[in-house]
Amino acid sequence: MMRGIDNIGICTADLARSVAFYQGLGFSEEYRNDRGVLMANEGVRLFLFATRKPNPPPVGRELGLFDNSPGIDHISFAVADVDALYARLREAGVKFGGPPEDQSWGLAWSA
């Protein structure tokens, strides 16, 4: 019987940079092996692993969702204060398309 999602795998071109990014979001390294790094934060677990493709092309996604290629489209994180997190990440150099905006479904979105 399924009890939940154990982890979500995220392929990256720069494993060290991705680990640092998720540490900035409050994740900590749960374990590391020759395949990648498992990051955890309050029951959310992400398995980060590096692509073997040299210079992979960037992946593009459309905000409207329905014109994107098949596959996992996005991961949403619940946070206590999205504006404070946005400000902290901007100060750390994370690039955004704009500040968080309230949406009709009651949540904030930042691309």
List, for the chain, all residue ranges whose pLDDT scores fall below the cut of 70: 106-111
Write the CA distances from 107 to 90, 104, 111, integer angstroms.
20, 7, 13
pLDDT recorded at residue 107: 56
CATH code at position 13: 3.10.180.10
pLDDT recorded at residue 41: 94
pLDDT digits (tens, 9 = 90+) for 34-57: 999 999 999 899 999 998 888 877
Query: How many domains, the chain?
Result: 1
User: Whole domain around residue 43: which residue ranges?
Assistant: 8-53+74-105
Tell me if 3 is assigned to some domain: no
Tell me if 62 is assigned to some domain: no
In three-state secondary structure terms, 41 is: strand
In sequence order, which ranges of the chain are alpha helices (DSSP H)? 15-24, 82-91
CA distance 66 to 77: 21
Q: How buried is residue 36: exposed, middle or buried, by Cβ count under 10 Å (0-12/13-18/19+)?
A: buried
pLDDT recorded at residue 10: 92
Question: Among 46, 36, 102, which Cα is nearest to 77's?
Answer: 46
Tell me if 110 is assigned to some domain: no
pLDDT recorded at residue 110: 55
